[in-house]
Amino acid sequence: MTCKIVTIVGARPQFIKAAAVTREILRHPGQLEEVMVHTGQHYDPNMSQVFFDELEIPAPRYNLEVSGGGHGAMTGRMLEGIERILLDEKPDWVLIYGDTNSTLAGALAAAKLHIPVAHVEAGLRSFNMRMPEEINRILADRVSTLLLCPTAVAIDNLAREGVTQGVHNVGDVMYDVALHYSERARAGSRILQTLALREKNFALATCHRAENTDDPVRLEGIVSALAQIAADMPVVLPLHPRTRKLLQQFELEQHLAALTVVEPLAFLDMVALEQAARVILTDSGGVQKEAFFYRVPCITMRDETEWVETVELGWNHLAGADRVTILAAYTALGAGAAHTHCQPYGDGQAAGRMLALLQAAST
């Protein structure tokens, strides 16, 4: 009997995680069928057909084109659209990823229709309830039948909340992705030549989280620190359109003059830069982990992280969004911070384990 899965995604990082699972599904024709739904939550000009070609997966079957507006309005419109698709498709499972509004909408739509939910990256916690992502991941976990955890820490977080049924440590699907694409990016991308960069002689930075971009003090702390680091070595900043708009609004554009500012990059180009950088500065959860997988020191420009293992092992340094603390972390890296080499995120076979659990629970 074919196990039918509806996958709900809405942001570029979710597509990248889902690609590992989709490739595994395609290896089991007749046993597994996937219907991918893009809510449209995050518009990204680089998510063209080329993006899906690079990921080696089909484009989504549905695109709800829901973006913009407040959290409630956005989630409500997604909920309505996803419910309609689920009623038509009648899947055995709904598969959700991470912590976006798309994640929550998919979880609620499925739960109200009594369709079992499998949550990839279950059990992650920042312990900051002011983050909409924290609310989304807690609520998604509560209505999920299978909680597919990436680490032992995630298992422990759920146990403290009294959640122990259907909980599995499958490993981190992002490690599957890193292993699959690292060589392809190194061989196929020309981004270092295009930007005239030398390997291990530049910093790579990203900044997109609302907690940073919407606060002019935090945003200035970040970009002024990046500008100062640029006096030491080139700093490449793929700039999200929303971040660019807010830099203009807060009159902080002068700090960009010292940086190598580029448009959002194609997937393989970003992977190539991550591997080649001497240091990565980011507020992205995914980029923190990718830095760890590629053994590149990372400075996280947030006050907390869900990926505590990267900090405990010395590869990731929490610096907040203050110029002084970011520069202190950068100086500490230059002095040679201690790193521990171990892999708490599994063996790169997370996708296969997830699908085996879904199939077993469907029989």
Residue 341 covered by a domain: no
Q: For the chain, give the mean pLDDT.
A: 94
pLDDT at residue number 211:
92
Q: Would residue 208 show up in a list of annotated catalytic residues for this protein?
A: yes
Residues 107 and 36 in one domain: yes
Residues 39 and 146 in one domain: yes
Residue 340 covered by a domain: no
Residues 10 and 145 in one domain: yes
The model's pLDDT over 328-340, given as tens digits with 9 standing for 90+, comes to 999 998 766 667 7
Kindly tell me if the per-residue pLDDT of 215 is higher than 80: yes
* For range 191-213, the mean pLDDT: 96
Residue 339 covered by a domain: no
Residues 193 and 166 in one domain: no
- Return the CATH number at 50: 3.40.50.2000
Expressed as residue numbers, the domain containing 155 is 3-172+346-362
- Write down the catalytic residue from 38, 208, 255, 317: 208
Kindly tell me if the per-residue pLDDT of 47 is higher than 90: no
Residues 315 and 354 in one domain: no
Question: What is the tally of structural domains in the chain?
Answer: 2
Residues 252 and 120 in one domain: no
Contact between 116 and 94 (Cβ < 8 Å): yes
The model's pLDDT over 216-269, given as tens digits with 9 standing for 90+, comes to 999 999 999 999 999 999 999 999 888 999 999 999 999 999 999 999 999 999
Residues 190 and 144 in one domain: no
Residues 253 and 323 in one domain: yes
